[in-house]
Structure 1
Amino acid sequence: MLNQNEIIDDFILQTKIGLFCSYGNFYLDPKEPIVDAVISHAHGDHAVGGNSNVYCTKATSMFMQHRYKKFAAVDFHIKTYHEVFELNGIEISFYPAGHILGSALVLMQYKGIKYLYTGDYKLEEDSTCEAIEFVNADVLITETTFANPETEHPNAIEEIKKLNSVSANIMLGSYALGKSQRLIAMINQHCIEKRILLHHSIVPFGKIYEEMGISLGKYEVYDRKVMKNNQTNMIYIVPPMVFNSYFKAINVVRVFATGWKHLQNNNEIQLYISDHVDWKAILKTIEMVKPMQIWTTHGSGTQLKSYFESKLVVKLLN
């Protein structure tokens, strides 16, 4: 029977470069190029270019190669879900994280102890990525982006249906990778009168999704004439920088899809669609993983620490 003393307190350390496993001499989602990088998913705050060796899923490698071109990595070591591989003495395997296509929970085993790093993850249904698979672990290293008891994400389908109440054209701000593809699929399913136009920077990610066998439905590359000649039921999906630069755009209803309340300010419709776990989803994950300890990263874990006081060890890595 495992006891608390067998868990290695410094198995994962927070450094300025990122989460470091000194026992395996590798980083999880490093912020700077290093020799051995285990990357949970391809969002820019988790996957930088220039690493010597990148261990990740196929979809993650494809997104990184599109974004960073020849500077993506010296070598990609592509791993399938559930495949066990060894890196400098640590046994590692990936499980679907449900965040975006190719996103992975990273299970690390060392001296009989299982450490599970979540990266970013969500529990909600999403037809554009693999559904999360829970796996038991002794230590859960979880993101805490929305680890606040007051945060509860509304139903994403009910949120997307808000767009049906708008007949005018919509400029919809969305992250280019993951969120945009999820929105395209949801709009095609639940807002069937709408016609989707995509900013050119989003299109290649959609093509990779389709190459990986994910059907998004109908969309077109943005054409100014099309938008100008059709005054209703057009949705133009743009990345955040474009959305922010067109803050004076006329003849469109401005909407931004995010779980962050402060990013909903000044928008005519609030569209709360998040690809992260909220408070209840984190608690559900803990229930399913059954860890002896919880280590928190990517956000504040102070409220989790208070909630589990005297019940579970909660350690804040950042």
Structure 2
Amino acid sequence: MILDDFVQFDANGLYCKYGGFYIDPVQPVDRAVISHAHADHAVAGNREVWCTAGTQAFMQLRYTKNAAKVFNVTAYGQPFVVGGVEITFVPAGHMLGSAQLLMAYQGTTYLYTGDFKLQPDATCEPLEWVKADVLITESTFANPATQHPDPIAEISKLKDIKINILLGAYGLGKSQRLIRLINDYAPQKTILMHHRIMPLNTIYEKAGYTLGKYQLYNRKLMKNQQDYVYIVPPFTFDSYIRATGVKRLFASGWKNLQVNSQDTLYISDHADWSDILEMIKQVQPTQVWTLHGDGKHLREHFNNTLFVKLLN
């Protein structure tokens, strides 16, 4: 039997009262199961955390001693129990260490996707399919108007840009994917890295993910026009809004983050509309619950042929 209140939002985030834990809480809590290390899913200060090894490494780098009092690091596919709910981490394909949460309770299974993507990504574990009675899916881009382009075609645009490029990207996950894509599909470019991204790259490489060639940013180098791509986090990108002698691009699935209509770089680490429909097809749920976005388009699409509940 599906429990309508298996997970519910409160002031601290998404709570499972049957297991006594939060999923990706937005405030520090006693028990947190964390899907991945992006800051909007992994806050500091939780007393006890369950996560993958990759997520632990990034949290400890970012939050140091305040990351969590206790880490329970669990491999993909290895079930564990929190408060009577059996949980299994399943690769989500979003970034290194990202996991879906397959939760089993009283004979019913609930799959929390966290952030996920289906596009190939050589810098993280590929998404794996599992069946579940209830799919609790992110709906960041759950709109029929959103179809993400081929990332290889997008990154190949850089080959035609003959001046140095200032490339804005989120430091964790997106930047490492961009390094690998540029090395693979625009190898004539020389990649320069902002110093704050370098320690994140080290964690990827220690985990066995080869990013390819890059070097620490040197201001003197950027004075020359030699096919440099300087990858910087958003705050640095915004501070260079009046930069001259460079092409400014921001890699994102969001239209409002593109610098202008002529120079776009739509590379997203989230599922688009077609991907979410494919997730539903593969999981074969009886119900779909949506969060982290607007699920109204999914509700309209299925038009009562599949129950869709909007959690937020």
TM-score (norm 2): 0.99
| Cα distance in structure 2, aligned partners of 1:249 and 1:73 | 40
Q: CA deviation at 1:267?
A: 6.9
Alignment of structure 1 residues 74-223 onto 2, 5 Å = 74-223=69-218
| Cα distance in structure 1, aligned partners of 2:234 and 2:262 | 16
User: Are 1:17 and 2:12 an aligned pair?
Assistant: yes
Q: Deviations over 1:235-259 (max 9, x none)?
A: 0000011101110011100000000
Distance 1:27 1:91, change over 3 A: same
Q: Deviations over 1:50-73 (max 9, x none)?
A: 101110000000000000011100
For residue 300 of structure 1, what is the aligned residue in structure 2? 294
Work out which of the residue numbers 271, 282, 293 in structure 1 matches 2:276: 282
Q: Deviations over 1:265-295 (max 9, x none)?
A: 4375100000000000000000000000000
| Cα distance in structure 1, aligned partners of 2:129 and 2:12 | 28
| Cα distance in structure 1, aligned partners of 2:138 and 2:11 | 17
Q: Secondary structure at the match of 2:86?
A: strand
Q: Secondary structure at the match of 1:275?
A: coil
Q: CA RMSD in A?
A: 0.8
Q: Deviations over 1:106-133 (max 9, x none)?
A: 0100000000001100001000000000
2:62 corresponds to which letter in structure 1?
Answer: R
8 A contact 2:75–2:89 mirrored in 1: yes
2:294 corresponds to which letter in structure 1?
Answer: S
Q: Secondary structure at the match of 1:224?
A: coil
Q: CA deviation at 1:15?
A: 1.8
Q: Which runs of 5+ in 1 are unaligned?
A: 1-5
User: Are 1:252 and 2:246 an aligned pair?
Assistant: yes
1:61 corresponds to which letter in structure 2?
Answer: Q
8 A contact 1:264–1:270 mirrored in 2: yes
Q: Secondary structure at the match of 1:70?
A: helix
Q: Secondary structure at the match of 2:220?
A: helix
| Cα distance in structure 2, aligned partners of 1:15 and 1:302 | 21
8 A contact 1:255–1:267 mirrored in 2: no
Q: Which runs of 5+ in 2 are unaligned?
A: none
| Cα distance in structure 2, aligned partners of 1:259 and 1:310 | 30
1:133 corresponds to which letter in structure 2?
Answer: E
